[in-house]
Amino acid sequence: MNTNRFSALRRPLGRAMFAATPLALAMMLAACGDQGAGSIVVVPAPAPSTSAPTPTPSTTGTAVKYDVLPCFNQVIPGTGGQTPLSVIIPDTLKLDLTKASGFPNGRTLTDPVVDVTLAVLFLDVNAGGQSPKTLANIPLDPPGNDRPFSLTFPYLAPPQGTPAVASGVGSNFDFRSDADSAYVNVDRMGNPAVATALISSSMKAAYNDANPTVDATQKFVPEEASELTKLFDEIGDDLTGLGLKICAKTS
């Protein structure tokens, strides 16, 4: 190798050595002279491994299985022995005039009916510290309507603000007296949360086409139990995590 040529290259290479890759350095040095004695040979460093480390396998927990039949068969306190199953079968809003009004004996406008229905379907309402109003007592929903309800029919609360009201509103109601055959059954909303929470989308049409007589045969009980089980699969651990005692048995 020509010493003068190497001397002339030595300083620039020294400054570039830390910036160039090993392969680039080898090519640059080889270009400055022959490959005989005295030549500088640079061996490229091995490329770093790009293989990812093998992850440690995670353990899979055993899925909890829920038996929801105890939820359907638990006695609702203060109802004279009624169970959620007897309330929703048939799916009608039942009213016994000899008993105090209020869910599940009919409903008042102030009843937290959805909270109560969900409580008797998810919680052990006979366990200490729990009742059908356990969910209603959790401060998630408004405690009441923002305007007081009227004490006379149709019992609606007055509107917000001062909207114009036509004369005669609230009187002279014209109730239809057509025979049942004149109507088409479009939707069923007997007890709150039953048609919406316990009947799947694939069964909605069949359920809406049915009637309380069909309900009494318990045709839809397997469907309702299946949907309740799915709901427990989703939130059962959340309920127990909140310290609530669920009505479903686990295995």
SS3 string, the chain, reads CCHHHHHHHHHHHHHHCCCCCHHHHHHHHHCCCCCCCCCCCCCCCCCCCCCCCCCCCCCCCCCCCEECHHHHHCCCCCCCCCCHHHHHCCCCCCCCCCCCCECCECCCCCCCHHHHHHHHHHECCCCCCCCCCCCCCCCCCCCCCCCCCCCCCCCCCCCCCCCCCCCCCCCCCCCCCCCHHHCCCCCCCCCCCHHHHCCCHHHHHHHHHCCHHHHHCCCCHHHHHHHHHHHHHHHHHHHHHCCCCECCEEC
Whether residue 104 is contained in a domain is answered as yes
Residue 135: inside a domain, yes or no? Answer: yes
Q: Is 215 a member of any domain?
A: yes
Residues 71 and 12 in one domain: no
In a domain, residue 18? The reply is yes
Average pLDDT taken over every residue of the chain: 79
Domain extent for 12? 1-44
Total domains present in the chain? 2
pLDDT of 144: 78
- More confident call, 83 vs 169: 83
* pLDDT at residue 134, rounded to an integer: 92
Question: Are residues 137 and 34 part of one domain?
Answer: no
Whether the predicted pLDDT of 64 surpasses 60 = yes
Both 31 and 71 in a single domain?
no
pTM for this predicted structure: 0.66
Q: What is the pLDDT of residue 2?
A: 46
